[in-house]
Structure 1
Amino acid sequence: MIEGRHMLLILAALLMASPASATSSTAAIDRTPVIEGSGADVASQIRIELTRPGSEALRFDARLSEDGGIINRPISWRIRAFGGETLLARDADVAELPAEPGDYIVEASYGAVKVERKLTLLEGQRLGVTLVFNVGGLRILPKLKQIGLPAARPFTSIYKVSGIDGGTLVAVTEEPGEILRLGAGSYRIESRFQPGNATAMTEVTVKPGLMSAVEIDMSAGIARLDVAGADDHDVIWFITDAKGEALPGISGPSAEVVLKPGNYNLRTQIDGSETTSAFTIEPGKISAIIQAN
């Protein structure tokens, strides 16, 4: 027998949830651990290093894509004995620990992609698994035509478009320009500003290992509301559109509201006293509405 450690490198194809599929992909290789998957369709690269009994270990890392480099940003790892206690839970680029031969569950999350793998560590092995997340970056910047980014807070929802989980909400962001990490595929983006009633929708395809940038230009205007000298007063604004649809009341002596083009009625409540008025919103314009105290 040759002395020293022997490294076997297995580049596995996409691992399906079926144990039969996992077995057939490695049937010609002796002493290969069984790996079963659930969650996202994430491929794996497996490395087996032969070692002395009693020095077995597990090691996990990940790639953005099959031909991409190892991810050096934090990944949420959780490793537990099958049917037993959690052995490791950490946010790091790599997760590794000494382990006895047996069955284990590894859970990994990176951005919106979550995966779970069941694997078997055999005696006399150090097992390394590299998950291939097939993740891309998506940067979303909602703004208004001819105005840019308003003071109102954006709220963006991202939905999966196709597949068995089509229509599923996968991420939400309230930060303009935030970079989201999503599994490769097609997504529907829905954006709106709060307070306001203007919305916009678009679709985008995320590719593994690549960054996609989406700028959403809404056709809307801004109502800039203000009550002069009312800092110490209780002010609530009530806005209703021409169809009678009302926005939730907006508290505060001043507010910036993003609205669809059209005619609106305004009811201003100051310390319990009310005044009413009307105004019009045009796309790409700011309407200043000042109420006397």
Structure 2
Amino acid sequence: MLDLGSVSIGAATLRFLKNATCALLIAVPAIVIESAPLSAQTVEAPMPPGPKPDPNAPSVPREDQIINLLDREPEPLFSDAKLPLVPTHSTMTGFSDGLDQGALYLMAKLTQDSPPLDDGLVWRIYSETTNANGRLELVATANGGDAEFRLDPGAYLVHTAFGYAQSTNRVVIGKEVQSKMLTLNAGGIKFGAAMKDGNGIDRQQVTFDVYGMTFDERGERNKIVGDVKPGSILRLSADTYHVVSRYGDVNAVIRADIQVLPGKLTEATILHKAADITLKLVNERGGEAIANTTWSVLSAGGHVVVEATGAFPDFVLASGEYEALARNNGRTYQHTFEVVPGEDREVEVVTSVSELAAQEAVVNN
């Protein structure tokens, strides 16, 4: 059975097919992070001793512009910013003052038109040449918003991270003061989960994995982050991502491609079609569960979906028809049941032939 889901982005609506597990709704609110950065955890960061670069200064595009994956006009990634006043000394720890060093001020924006980020950034400065171990040497780091570094003349690689949105740029330092503005071209996803019929869902059993869209030589996608819980917000570079949502540990799985727009927070709610099923082997309907029972749950096509041992095995199963096989004391008992989305229940497998026949008659009627 295929379900038809809908994706709403602004005023445009795209409709696309989903698998039998659930449907997906993606919505980008009209006003989300229009002129404000994504929320971030507060991290103390060293402040430059003098005035900061002018965030409204025009950006000068570099020769190799960023590749835009959302059919938007290219934006400069790393550009110069005007510095109205040069500080006389640095307050950054771990750097020696002196006339033989250059000063580097760094700021970052989500988009070219958004204000500078004042929190949540991680700056790392690497030397361009490798050390004796063949690795780039980490020269300095800073957390928070803008950052100031005093560096010896030479070429460096500046790595910037805002959540899972990252960028690496090359800068050449002399004995002068430089100020750079980085355009991250990033946004975010906020994940949610619900039942398609509106019933509640155990959010603790729902997870999200985020993958890139390309495949490696083994035909596998690159996992960016896994085991994300509902309500979480991920900061990501503007791009399209492959998202896999799991409800439970068996077969309630949905896959969908979600687009992250620069400076926007995309809200993605997974609408699952599944239920929590508990199996019991009993001598009669409503009786006590029989211990030391081995279970197999088969799909309508006869394939093993999940196996377990115990008196009360519990699974989240995708909607559909299944057959439960219970093995106890050398005997096998079976019972066919249906999983209805959102209807968590116990399924009894009766050892008595007469009781089982009566139970199946009630179900058929």
TM-score (norm 1): 0.71
Check conservation: 1:155, 1:192, Cα contact below 8 A: yes
Matches within 5 A, 1:224-243: 224-225=278-279, 238-243=296-301
Matched, 1:97 2:149: yes
**What does residue 72 of structure 1 align with?**
118
**What does residue 173 of structure 2 align with?**
121
Matched, 1:63 2:109: yes
Deviations 1:20-47 (A, max 9, x none): xxxxxxxxxxxxxxxxxxxxx8712323
Deviations 1:254-285 (A, max 9, x none): 56422222222334578x98864433212332
Deviations 1:190-221 (A, max 9, x none): 22222221222333332111111111112223
Which of 340, 344, 361 in structure 2 is aligned with 1:282? 340
**Distance in 1 (alpha carbons) for counterparts of 2:325 and 2:102:** 72
Deviation (angstroms), 1:236 = 6.7
Deviations 1:163-197 (A, max 9, x none): xxx96543334301211112223333322222221
**Distance in 2 (alpha carbons) for counterparts of 1:285 and 1:203:** 28
Deviations 1:59-117 (A, max 9, x none): 22311111112223322322122215312134432332211211111112222222111
1:13 is paired with a residue whose SS is: coil
- In 2 relative to 1, CA 99–152 (structure 1 residues): closer, same or farther, beyond 3 Å? closer
Which of 79, 85, 108 in structure 2 is aligned with 1:45? 79
2:182 is paired with a residue whose SS is: strand
Deviations 1:201-251 (A, max 9, x none): 333332111111111112223313468999xx8887543222233345457
Which of 8, 16, 21 in structure 1 is aligned with 2:64? 16
Check conservation: 2:122, 2:160, Cα contact below 8 A: yes
2:200 is paired with a residue whose SS is: coil
**Distance in 2 (alpha carbons) for counterparts of 1:274 and 1:14:** 75
Deviations 1:123-172 (A, max 9, x none): 2x12222211111121121332233322662232334458xxx9654333
Check conservation: 1:144, 1:221, Cα contact below 8 A: no
**Distance in 2 (alpha carbons) for counterparts of 1:143 and 1:14:** 45
Give the partner amino acid of 2:173. L
**What does residue 202 of structure 1 align with?**
256
Matched residues, percent identical?
21
**What does residue 96 of structure 2 align with?**
none
**Distance in 2 (alpha carbons) for counterparts of 1:70 and 1:112:** 18
Check conservation: 1:225, 1:290, Cα contact below 8 A: yes
Which of 213, 220, 236 in structure 1 is aligned with 2:274? 220
Equivalent residues, number: 260
**What does residue 111 of structure 1 align with?**
163
Instruction: Judging by fraction of residues, say which structure has more strand.
Output: 1
**Distance in 2 (alpha carbons) for counterparts of 1:151 and 1:187:** 22
Give the partner amino acid of 2:298. T
Matched, 1:132 2:183: yes
**Distance in 1 (alpha carbons) for counterparts of 2:119 and 2:182:** 14
1:82 is paired with a residue whose SS is: strand
- In 2 relative to 1, CA 151–207 (structure 1 residues): closer, same or farther, beyond 3 Å? closer
Two-structure CA RMSD over aligned residues (Å): 3.9
Check conservation: 1:135, 1:209, Cα contact below 8 A: yes
Check conservation: 2:278, 2:312, Cα contact below 8 A: yes
Where structure 1 has 5 or more consecutive residues not aligned to the other structure, the ranges are 19-40
Give the partner amino acid of 1:283. P
Check conservation: 1:242, 1:264, Cα contact below 8 A: yes
TM-score (norm 2): 0.59
- In 2 relative to 1, CA 11–54 (structure 1 residues): closer, same or farther, beyond 3 Å? same
**Distance in 1 (alpha carbons) for counterparts of 2:273 and 2:265:** 26
Check conservation: 1:76, 1:89, Cα contact below 8 A: yes
- In 2 relative to 1, CA 173–61 (structure 1 residues): closer, same or farther, beyond 3 Å? farther
Where structure 2 has 5 or more consecutive residues not aligned to the other structure, the ranges are 1-50, 67-74, 89-98, 132-136, 215-219, 282-286, 351-365
Give the partner amino acid of 2:117. I
